Amino acid sequence: MLSKEINTRVGIGYDVHKLVSGRKLIIGAVLIDSELGALGFSDADVLIHAIADALLGAAALGDIGHHFPDTDSKNEGLSGSYLLSEVVRLLNSNNFSIVNIDSTVILQSPKISSHIYKMRENLSLLLDIDISRVSVKATTTERLGFIGKNEGIAAEAIVLLRENI
């Protein structure tokens, strides 16, 4: 049996989307200028989706597919910002607070380093935590695999929650 003194939880999230022409590329609630955008039922914001799944997983509250199924037409085109706000509402109602988030966007091109601060800023506002607790990094796959061929984008996140007991 776990001691009542242990009140932190770790969660890992991952998301991937195909890149296609005719779609917007939104990462961390930032619109990125790109010829290719992420294909998805929602706005396909891989960074927000990875973070949301990590948060839900750490709290043992399921995943975004459970809370926002693609079988429900009201979720079509759903913004990542709204989705993340709802996840934060769920965390708060279950007595969890976010300690920190570390995330990585995996994308061959375009380069997104100039947008990272704005992503961190957006996420800190949506999550209602200080920007110093939100890390966003970017990497490529050195032109290997579907991401390296500009066929897709992925993101992964790890989060630490505190259970307010």
| pTM score | 0.95
At 113-160, the pLDDT tens digits run 999 999 999 999 999 999 999 999 999 999 999 999 999 999 999 999
By the 8 A CB rule, do 64 and 49 touch? yes
Q: How far apart are CA 79 and CA 77, in angstroms?
A: 6
Within-domain flag for 145 = yes
Tell me the CATH number at 91.
Answer: 3.30.1330.50
Within-domain flag for 1 = no
Res. 3: pLDDT tops 60: no
Within-domain flag for 92 = yes
Q: What is the mean pLDDT of residues 38-61?
A: 97
pLDDT at 77: 86
Within-domain flag for 94 = yes
pLDDT at 155: 98
Domain hosting 121: range is: 8-163
Within-domain flag for 77 = yes
Say how many domains are in the chain. Answer: 1
Share of the chain above pLDDT 70, in %: 96
What would the two tokens of residue 91 be?
């965390």
